[in-house]
Amino acid sequence: MRFYEAGDKTKALCEDCGAVVEAVYGYHDVAFDDGVGIAKGILAAACRECGTVVAIPAQSLPALRRTRPVVDVPLEVELPAPDLEILDAVSSRVVSRPTTRHRKMVLAYYALLLASRGDAGAVISAAAQVLALDEQRKGKGGVPKKRLSFRISDEFDATLHGLMEESGLKKSATVRAIIQFVREDVTGPDAIGANEPSTITELRRVAQTMSA
């Protein structure tokens, strides 16, 4: 990665000057057009003609992100009780005292995993397996529905919506498809023991890191 330092020069577009200009890196307070925040003292390039900050290098983006307010959005879906039991089963595999926060962690972990694979077909096929499970349960008496409710970050919300768009599924069906992947990992033949799925091992590491 290239790191710029104060005094380094570059070229950039300056919309105030309406031209390609020479710009110089330095530490500036960067105010944003949306008025939401100001990033104080970050390395940015300013137009040599008018002084307007015109470019933010990649190295300053982490500092910039810290100034963005964290937006939480509600996630509320009604699920058959066995789905929540699956989330709880994994939670108790990865931490000794699981809470509802760990349900969210498990759901988010698998959602991100699926999103990174970019395989909408896998999500759709998991949703079909969920429907088949529902069919099997019909003859066995009632399964109560329970509410899964927590606040999630805007990033997790975006991941969820990405999976919804790719698969064409509604939110509750998408959440249930994600849980189906969790189900396969915890009910598979090697779910417990030396050959446990790498997802469980990694999730344990994530949980330990989060609680550090």
Partner 1 sequence: MARDALESGSYAIPARKAADAENLLATGAVTEVQVIAVLDKCMGQHHQRKPHHSIAGVDVHVFSRDGWYIKVYFVDPQTFFLSVHR
How near is the Cβ of 194 to partner 1 at its closest, in Å? Answer: 31
User: Applying CB under 8 A, does 94 fall inside the site for partner 1?
Assistant: no
User: Applying CB under 8 A, does 5 fall inside the site for partner 1?
Assistant: no
- Calculate ∠ Cα 169-172-136, nearest 5°: 95
* Interface with partner 1 (CB under 8 A), residue from 7, 62, 144, 193: 62
Closest CA to 131 of 169, 87, 158, 77: 169
How near is the Cβ of 23 to partner 1 at its closest, in Å? Answer: 9
Helical (H) or strand (E) element with 89: helix 81-94
Closest CA to 154 of 89, 68, 40: 68
Q: Quick one: which segment of 63-71, 72-80, 86-94, 180-188 binds partner 1 (CB under 8 A)?
A: 63-71
Q: Quick one: which segment of 34-42, 103-111, 132-140, 193-201 binds partner 1 (CB under 8 A)?
A: 34-42
User: Applying CB under 8 A, does 117 fall inside the site for partner 1?
Assistant: no
* Interface with partner 1 (CB under 8 A), residue from 40, 49, 68, 211: 68
CA distance 204 to 197: 11
C-alpha count within 13 angstroms, C-beta hemisphere, residue 191: 14
Neighbouring-strand partners of residue 73 = 152
How near is the Cβ of 65 to partner 1 at its closest, in Å? Answer: 5
For partner 1, the closer CB: 57 or 82: 57
CA distance 173 to 161: 12
Chain centroid, CA 117 distance in Å: 14
Looking up tokens 């997802």, which residue turns up?
Answer: 199
Structure tokens at 79: 């699920």
User: Applying CB under 8 A, does 34 fall inside the site for partner 1?
Assistant: yes
User: Applying CB under 8 A, does 55 fall inside the site for partner 1?
Assistant: yes
Question: Contact positions toward partner 1, by CB under 8 A?
Answer: 1-2, 10-13, 15, 18-20, 30, 32-34, 36-37, 39, 44-45, 52-59, 61-62, 64-65, 67-68, 118, 154-155, 158, 162, 165-166
